[in-house]
Amino acid sequence: AKVLKRGRATFFSEDLSLAARERIRMLTELRAAFSAERLFLAYQPQVDLKTGRVLGAEALLRWKTEDGRSIPPDQFIPLAEQSGLTVPIGEWVLRTAGRQLKHLADRGYDRFRMAINVSHTQFREPGFVPALGRALRDCAISPQQLELELTESVAIGHIDSTAAKIQEIRSMGITVAMDDFGTGYSSLSVLKQLNVDRLKVDRSFVQEITERGDATGIAELVISLGHQLNLVTIAEGVEAEEQRRQLLRMGCQEGQGFLFGRPMPAADFERWLAGQG
Ligand code: C2E
Ligand code: CA
Ligand code: CA
Ligand code: CA
């Protein structure tokens, strides 16, 4: 039995070191990608559910590898978190989206809203709010056009300081959305204690709408909760007309998803936007 055990241990440790090597390789590539500007942002429209009018966009991070593959953010953001790259990448996202926002504002889209994702590590960084202020100034954008998407995870164990920071950010004129709501642990109590502007209905709940074939479910609960707390609700991952219809009936005001538009690189997004009239 001992021999067998040792054998297995060896097997596992080789396996682990393979995973570790793979991680290090990816991390090295990510650093290189960051400095070689192989990260870019794709912009996905956010629309008025009733009229289809474009209200803004969410900036979504993309990594284009040297051999032309595109690595989705879910795969490399956790890696960045472990490696100290979160803050520099986050700052790059803020500035890149900020410049794009300014570019659009100068072309007449002066009420357009740009939403960016902020990870909890970035949000908790003491320098985050000053960096926000600098980016607003340097990009010459109006704070009212900027929105931060935060997940409940920012508040875990830090509810008071998080609430205070959100207040500080909102007092600058920037709006805040609660992202992926309902997928975490302490949703209800967190939402009540944090003062946000918008509530994002997670894609998993939007998907359920057509799968279940009826209109009840978590999406409806989240939307009515939003109403009670006086928040604007926006549904993500809207793919079907039937979902749009049901969401509207539930009182959801805004939407985002393939039904309206996919995430697009800046130039494509601008062309798409111009075609919306
Ligand atoms: P998220 O914030 O929940 O973003 C929405 C995700 O849903 C995006 O995936 C988007 O492409 C996808 N999506 C939108 N509409 C549809 C639809 O109709 N159908 C389907 N199947 N998917 C749809 P993406 O771009 O792969 O991003 C994944 C996650 O990575 C994001 O989830 C967000 O948590 C994170 N992320 C993206 N960009 C950034 C960033 O700049 N900073 C940080 N910290 N996180 C980011
Ligand atoms: Ca988001
Ligand atoms: Ca989301
Ligand atoms: Ca989501």
DSSP-derived secondary structure for 103-127: HHHHTT-TT-EEEEE--HHHHHSTT
For 158-212, the pLDDT digits (tens) are: 899 999 999 999 999 999 999 998 887 767 888 989 999 999 999 999 999 877 6
Instruction: Tell me the average pLDDT of the chain.
Output: 90
Instruction: Identify the bridge partners of residue 64 per DSSP, sorted by sequence position.
Output: 70
* pLDDT over threshold 50, residue 3: no
- Residue 175 Cα to chain centre, angstroms: 14
CB contact at 8 A, 148 and 97: no
Residue 177 dihedral angles phi and psi, to the nearest 5°: -115, 140
Q: Which ligand 1 atom sits nearest the alpha carbon of residue 90?
A: 42
pLDDT at 212: 65
β-strand partners of 57:
45, 114
Ligand 1 nearest atom to the CA of residue 60, by list position: 38
Ligand 3: distance of its center to the CA of 178 in Å? 8
Give percent of the chain with pLDDT exceeding 70. Answer: 92
pLDDT at 215 over 80: no
Over the stretch 51-68, which tens digit does the pLDDT of each residue have? 999 999 999 999 988 888
User: Torsions phi, psi of 200, nearest 5?
Assistant: -95, 125
Angle at 241 (CA atoms; ends 204, 263), nearest 5 degrees:
60
- Cα of 118 vs centre of ligand 4, distance in Å, is 13
CB of residue 261 inside a 6 A radius of ligand 1 = no
CA 271, chain centre distance (Å)? 23
Which residues, in sequence order, are CB contacts of 138 under 8 Å at separation 6+? 95, 98
Closest among 107, 181, 174 to 137, alpha carbons compared: 174
Distance 73 CA to ligand 4 centre (A): 12
The ligand minimizing its distance to the Cα of 61 is: 1
Q: How far is CA 190 from CA 162, 180, 225, in A?
A: 10, 13, 13
Closest residue CA from atom 33 of ligand 1: 117
Distance 60 CA to ligand 1 centre (A): 6
pLDDT at 11: 52
Paired with 148 in beta bridges are 116, 176
Question: Residue 204 Cα, ligand 4 centroid: separation in angstroms?
Answer: 7
How confident is the model over 249-277, as a mean pLDDT?
Answer: 96
Q: Is the CB of 177 under 6 A from ligand 1?
A: no
The amino acid sitting at 230 is: N
Secondary structure element (H or E) that encloses residue 150, with its range: strand 146-151
Query: For ligand 1, is residue 97 a contact (CB within 6 Å)?
Result: no
- Confidence bin at 214 (pLDDT 50/70/90): low
The ligand with the least distance to the CA atom of 203 is 4
Those residues whose beta carbon sits under 5 angstroms from the ion ligand 4 are 180, 202-203
**Residue whose tokens read 């969410």:** 58
Residue of the nearest CA to atom 26 in ligand 1?
72
Ion ligand 3 nearby residues (CB, 5 A): 179-180, 236
Q: What pLDDT, on the 0 to 100 scale, is given for residue 1?
A: 39
Q: What is the pTM of this model?
A: 0.91
Compute, in angstroms, the gap from residue 83 CA to the centroid of ligand 3: 24
Q: What is the rounded average pLDDT of the residues 78-89?
A: 87
**Residues 6-64: pLDDT tens digits?**
444 445 555 668 788 888 888 888 888 887 778 999 999 999 999 999 999 999 999 98
196 class by beta-carbon count within 10 Å (0-12 exposed, 13-18 middle, 19+ buried): buried
Cβ–ligand 1 contact at 182 (below 6 Å): no
User: Looking at residue 110, what is its pLDDT?
Assistant: 94
Whether 4 shows a pLDDT value over 70: the answer reads: no
Check if 91 has its Cβ closer than 6 Å to any atom of ligand 1. Answer: no
Q: What is the pLDDT confidence band of residue 82, given thresholds at 50, 70 and 90?
A: confident
| Alpha carbon separation from 151 to 38, 113, 135, 221 (Å, rounded) | 26, 19, 22, 18
